[in-house]
Amino acid sequence: MAGICIVATALDGAVSRSSLELVGGGRALGASLGAGVAALLLGSGPGMPEATEALHQHGVSAVYRVTDPTLTAGQTDAWLIAVEQIVRAVGPEIVLISADTVGRELAPRLAHRLGAALVTECVEMATEGQEIIVKRQVYGGRALATLAVARRPLVLSVKPRALDAPEPAPTPGKVEDVAVTIDVTALPARVREIHREKSEVGLEDAPVVVAGGRGLGGPEGFKVIEELAAALGGAVGSSRPPADAGWVPISWQIGQTGKTVRPALYIAVGISGATQHTAGVSGSRTIVAINRDPEAPIFSLAHLGIVGDYREIVPLLTAKVKELKGG
């Protein structure tokens, strides 16, 4: 019996980075609880053997693998059937799920079905005796709550990019292929279409992120910061108002509701710094703010700031970056 079970996904032919983050979190918990880490690996097609190997390479002792054509992006009802069946059979004390598109639906529903305790959107995990101590952001990132859970089983969902991906720790492990019967026509909610917004550099993994806010004034403002991002080899994101206004795709949104980013360099342009947004960027190594309003709260988070009009500042900065990178 495994003490800790992570739910891992392989949708693009490789194990996802957030799955590896769960492995890292599970290993740390397991070390202090004296428990091993098992993984449920779910996916629909190619890449499952490689993903299994990657899990073993990162310290997972047992991989329970379900390969089924219904286990595709966003098909939560199918994931729930598979995960519930295996978790009941394996009987872990703690289940870790990444709080991504599927995970944020899956974790509460699984907890309810198992009669398990539930904590969502964790950013830190530790143990104190037999108690699990988790931290999560509350009040739009203005405060950090520490929760203690003694009850088992326990389902934890973990915010993507809150934990570091672990160092390799090759473990001789076993694999068990599990058959799960899923009738797609019986699923209460069925994905009929998937629209992926292409991004050249994934926002969550980009070393540099340039984000724009309401202060850009409209979708054309994003063209200006896209040029800066391109010069820096980074990705473009936004705070909530531009996504709400339809200036940019919602998948660009960074913050409490959107993505969490932790780049080496984060540049906020025309972003006031509402906690809704800063909750998703505060882990960035260096934060630069460009804003016309010297009183904007973003300056209380930033390390370096420029008070000025982005229309003037950003093109100059793009040119400066090209000059410095070229020379």
Q: Does 300 bind other proteins (CB under 8 A)?
A: yes
Q: Which of 167, 179, 220, 294 binds other proteins (CB under 8 A)?
A: 294
Q: Which of 17, 184, 251, 283 binds other proteins (CB under 8 A)?
A: 251
The 10 Å CB-count burial string (b at 16+, else e) for 269-305 is bbbbbbbbbbbbbbebeebbbbbeeeebbbbebbeeb
Residue with tokens 């799955």: 19
Q: Does 276 bind other proteins (CB under 8 A)?
A: yes
Q: Does 220 bind other proteins (CB under 8 A)?
A: no
Shortest Å, Cβ 151 to other proteins: 3
Phi-psi region of 218 (alpha: psi -120 to 50; beta: other; left: phi over 0): left
Residue number with CB closer to other proteins (52 or 275): 275
Q: Is 106 helix (H, G, I), strand (E, B) or coil?
A: helix
Separation of alpha carbons 308 and 226, rounded Å: 19
Q: Which of 191, 201, 262, 283 binds other proteins (CB under 8 A)?
A: 191
Q: Does 146 bind other proteins (CB under 8 A)?
A: yes
Which positions from 193 through 212 interact with other proteins, judged by CB under 8 A?
193-197, 199, 208
Shortest Å, Cβ 135 to other proteins: 9
CA torsion angle 51 178 187 159 (round to 10): -40
Shortest Å, Cβ 91 to other proteins: 18
Which positions from 90 through 119 interact with other proteins, judged by CB under 8 A?
99-101, 104-105, 107-109, 111-113, 117-119
First and final CA of the chain: distance in angstroms? Answer: 58
Q: Which of 88, 174, 190, 223 binds other proteins (CB under 8 A)?
A: 190
Which positions from 58 through 97 interact with other proteins, judged by CB under 8 A?
73-74, 76-77
Separation of alpha carbons 71 and 79, rounded Å: 6
Q: Does 178 bind other proteins (CB under 8 A)?
A: no
The separation between CA 293 and the C-alpha centre of its own chain, rounded to angstroms, equals 31
Give the total of residues touching other proteins (CB under 8 A).
93
Is the CB of residue 215 less than 8 Å from the CB of residue 291? yes
Please choose, out of 30-38, 163-171, 187-195, 213-221, the segment that lies near other proteins by the rule CB under 8 A: 187-195
Q: Does 126 bind other proteins (CB under 8 A)?
A: no
Q: Which of 31, 46, 129, 139 binds other proteins (CB under 8 A)?
A: 139
Separation of alpha carbons 327 and 321, rounded Å: 10
Shortest Å, Cβ 150 to other proteins: 7
Residues 6 or more apart whose CB falls under 8 angstroms from that of 277 comprise 213, 239, 240, 254, 255, 256, 271
Q: Does 138 bind other proteins (CB under 8 A)?
A: yes
Shortest Å, Cβ 45 to other proteins: 18
Read off φ and ψ for residue 124, nearest 5 degrees.
-145, 145
Q: Which of 31, 89, 148, 169 binds other proteins (CB under 8 A)?
A: 148
